[in-house]
Amino acid sequence: MTTLKGPGIFLAQFMGDKAPFNSLADICKWAASLGFTGVQIPTWDGRCIDLQKAAESKTYADEINGIVREAGLEITELSTHLQGQLVAVNPAYDVLFDGFAPEHLRNNPKARTEWAVQQLKYAAKASKNLGLNAHATFSGALLWHTVYPWPQRPAGLVETGFTELGKRWLPILNVFDGEGIDLCYEIHPGEDLHDGVTYEMFLEKVNNHARACLLYDPSHFVLQCLDYLSYIDHYHDRIKMFHVKDAEFNPTGKQGVYGGYQNWVERAGRFRSLGDGQVDFKSIFSKLAAYDYKGWAVMEWECALKHPEVGAAEGAPFIKQHIIKVTEKAFDDFAGTGSDENFNRSILGIH
């Protein structure tokens, strides 16, 4: 067994235009002051990193590592959630997702997709240059607008969608494999990979690619009413990243999973700061330790109620309290009587 690394913090929700949130050096010092030991870096934010430069220049990657280490931290992983989303976009969402791409690519879905694919390839090489072994992303979605089958989905639609999704991602996965990096999909509503079944459908289309791994985030499963503990039993060998994020689901006589088009505060299912929701983190950390998860525990803060800086200040000690320092011996070793083959055979009555 391995003791989880952490606590880490995903910087995406904290970056801003004012100090200490407007530069990598300052936000790392801030994170370290709260007790975090690692940072997960959003690659679309130029205040954190120039992704292409990190891919093409080991010297620049070393400089980024140096900035983080000077604050007493490590980089846990890089993230391309926004770029990964753009690998596969149904035209129904073109206008909304154009905002994830550089301005000169907007209203040009083909060029936008090509840019996103290249971004993922840069991410693989940048991760290698930074000495990392896992990377976070989204799968994108061609089918999400049909998630509830009304009108009835045409026969073969899902098969066609996942065939295309696999076709787009397989070359990217091969690049990650060449760099020795696990590509971890965050299983998330709005993505075609949003639960275990859809993940398995995708795996089939990419030939069970060894690098097609998982970022485990239980909050999204709470909102789907999915058993997030048995999920670990099913997929622990593919889980290479962990977002520690809380959530709650409180259905009423007026709304349930779909939320009635309400804002986050008024939805039956909503994300919460760590410890304020319903996620059973004690069981999660226990399962991950038992299955020898070797990665980081990284806080992702998303809460409709609490101030982000309060959530961050509470997050580091929360994760520390839940990380299990695994034992190196059995609890009943004190009562051991020693053993050899002859002794064992005598106990069993084998002569």
CB-count exposure of residue 150 (10 Å: 0-12, 13-18, 19+): exposed
Q: Which residue has the tokens 């994170």?
A: 31
DSSP secondary structure, 316-341, as one string = HHHHHHH-----SS-TTGGG-----H
CA distance 76 to 54: 15
Cα–Cα distances (Å) from 226 to 73, 147, 179, 195, 232, in that order, read 34, 16, 34, 8, 12
Give the model's pLDDT for residue 215. Answer: 98
Give the model's pLDDT for residue 322. Answer: 98
Which of these, 323, 324, 328, 325, lies nearest to 38 by C-alpha position? 323
Give the model's pLDDT for residue 327. Answer: 83
Q: Reduced to 3 states, what is the DSSP secondary structure of residue 310?
A: helix
Q: For residue 207, which amino acid is it? A: N
Q: Which residue has the tokens 């289309």?
A: 205
Q: Reduced to 3 states, what is the DSSP secondary structure of residue 39?
A: strand
CA distance 22 to 307: 18
Q: For residue 323, which amino acid is it? A: I
> How, if at all, do strands 246-249 and 38-42 pair?
unpaired
Helix residue ranges per DSSP H, the chain? 24-33, 51-56, 58-70, 81-85, 94-97, 109-130, 157-179, 196-205, 218-222, 228-235, 281-290, 308-322, 341-347
The angle at the Cα of 305, spanning 300 to 309, to the nearest 5 degrees, equals 55
Q: Reduced to 3 states, what is the DSSP secondary structure of residue 211?
A: coil
Which of these, 113, 111, 122, 119, lies nearest to 87 by C-alpha position? 113
Give the model's pLDDT for residue 340. Answer: 85
CB 239 within 8 A of CB 214: yes
Q: What is the CATH number of domain 5-347?
A: 3.20.20.150
Please tell me the pTM assigned to this model.
0.95
Q: Map out the domains of the chain as residue ranges.
A: 5-347
Please list, in sequence order, all residues whose beta carbon lies within 8 angstroms of the beta carbon of residue 328, skipping any fewer than 6 positions away: none
pLDDT, tens digit only, all 351 positions of the chain: 899 999 999 999 999 999 999 999 999 999 999 999 999 999 999 999 999 999 999 999 999 999 999 999 999 999 999 999 999 999 999 999 999 999 999 999 999 999 999 999 999 999 999 999 999 999 999 999 999 999 999 999 999 999 999 999 999 999 999 999 999 999 999 999 999 999 999 999 999 999 999 999 999 999 999 999 999 999 999 999 999 999 999 999 999 999 999 999 999 999 999 999 999 999 999 999 999 999 999 999 999 999 999 999 999 999 999 999 998 877 767 667 777 888 888 888 997
Distance of CA 163 to the CA centre of its chain: 23
CB 83 within 8 A of CB 120: yes
Structure tokens at 162: 């996942």
